[in-house]
Every structure is written in C-alpha cells, then in structure tokens.
Amino acid sequence: MSFILLLAFLFFVGSLTGWGLELVYRRFVSQKKWVNPGFLSGPYLPIYGFGLVLLYLIASTEPYFDFGNPILEKLVLFAVMMLGMTIVEYIAGIFCLKYFKLRLWDYTDRWGNIQGVICPLYSFLWSILGAIYYFLIHPHILRSLEWLSRNLAFSFFIGFFYGVFLMDLTHSTRVVLAIKKFANQQQIILHYEEIKERIGQYKESRLIKAGFIFRMWMDNPFSRFLKDTYETTKGRITDLTDGLRESFQMADPNGKAPSDDKSVDPEVRKR
C-alpha cells in the first residue's frame, strides 16, 4: 500500500510541477504570454505525472547499471530516462493525434522531428530534467514516503486532487470529443493551442471571465459548475466550428478545408 501511495504522490507532484514549468516556459520562452498548458482546465499536466513516476522507477534500477565506470553509468541512466520520457511523450501525442484528431503540441518546425510529436531538442531537455530529478529529488523520495506515513492527513489533499482531477478529465474529454466530431466531419487535424487561443479571444471580445479552482467557493454546487462550464464551452466550440466551416465553404464551395488554414494540419487529410 505504501508503494501505491508513493506513486500516487509522485503523480500528484509531477502533474502540478509540470504544469508550473510549462506555464513559465510558455510565458517567457515560447509564446511570451500566460497560457494554460494542456487540454485540462485545472493546474496539472498528466504527462508530467506519468513522467515523474517513470523517472522514479528508472532511477530505482540504478544498481543494474554497473559498468565499473560511475560517469558512464550516470550517462547511460540519463539516456534511458530520456528515452523513457520521449516514449511517453510520443504515445500521448500520437494517441491524441490519431484518436481525437488533435495536435496538442507541434514540433514540425524542429530539426529531426518525428510526425511533429517528438524531436531531438526536447528529448535532450528530457534528459536534463532526468538529471535534475536524479540529483535533487530522487534522494529524498524515501524520506517523503516516511513523512507521508507520519502525516496521513496529507493523504486527504492527495485524494482531493484526484477527485478534482477526475471531474476535470471528464469535463475536458467531452469538450475534446466535440472537437473530434467536427474534425472527423471535415477530415482534418486541428491544433488545440490555436483553438484555445480563439476561444480566449471569444471570451475577451464578450468580456467573459473564466475560472476553475476559485469557482469551487461559489454558492452553486461544484458539480453544477462543471455542468454549466461544459454547456458554455460546448457553445463556444459550436461558434468556433461554425466559423471554421463558413471559412471552409467560402474558400471551397465543396466544403473542403483550404490548405493554407493554420488550424489544419496540411500533412493529414485522410481518415
């Protein structure tokens, strides 16, 4: 049971920390503005949660990396971490691309990319994160487990996190399925980041204020808030897809998507 609690704790920490890292990266490096990363509404990224769990499991196998050279052992360990994280990223990206018809991130402009989902640059960054984890976090994992065993009340916060996470996942999946339906109809791949940006512009043009965590303190039950948020978001998606459909029809009377539309993946136009 303690091992399961440890993995749950690592997923919890990894999801929150990864969300913070992505938020800062997008604000100061890539997009130069505050953008909520991922397709969930709350402050967590599951891919980083799975990644932290994977890094812990790989680091725990360090005794098997016995080559008689400590430097070589560490390099091989970090290479395995990089490979593992890249596989996780590839599986998540391809799943969303093939099943949901959504491109959550796009590396097509990066050298050596594979299907725009993974690339050498970000794989290298994964190895750096793996090294940071190994030297700064992994030595304290067992100590954290001991602390958890002596402070079981903290398990309540972990349970609260998973409760909110599952409700958010259900809500966000419904929205993504609405987008998938439109993408299947048009036989296209949509860029989720651009969709979010357009929805943000929609909200700003109508002075609509969005919230998630702070809405939990409203008078209405949280479940009702999730339902209302879904219905509102569904309406925004409908408006967005109607606009896209009109632009498609203006560009092509047959209703096919124009090749120069930025929200369409030009490489993928088949079911």
Tens place of pLDDT per residue across the chain (271 aa): 577 878 888 999 999 999 999 999 888 988 788 888 888 888 889 999 999 999 999 999 988 888 888 899 999 999 999 999 999 999 999 999 999 888 889 999 999 999 999 999 999 999 999 999 999 989 888 777 777 767 777 778 888 889 999 999 998 888 888 878 877 877 878 777 777 776 666 556 655 454 444 443 344 443 454 455 445 555 555 555 555 555 445 545 454 444 444 444 544 444 4
Report how far residue 133's alpha carbon sits from residue 39's, in angstroms, rounded to the nearest whole number.
25
Q: Where are the domains of the chain?
A: 2-155, 166-251
Report how far residue 192's alpha carbon sits from residue 235's, in angstroms, rounded to the nearest whole number.
17
For residue 89, give the amino acid letter.
E
- State pTM to two decimals: 0.73
CB atoms within 10 A of CB 230: 16
Single out the residue of 44, 42, 43, 59 nearest to residue 6, CA to CA. 59
**Ramachandran region of residue 65, left (φ > 0), alpha (ψ -120 to 50) or beta?**
beta
DSSP assignment of 151-215, as one string?
Answer: -TTHHHHHHHHHHHHHHHHHHHHHHHHHHHHHHHHHT--EEHHHHHHHHHHHHHHTT----SSGG
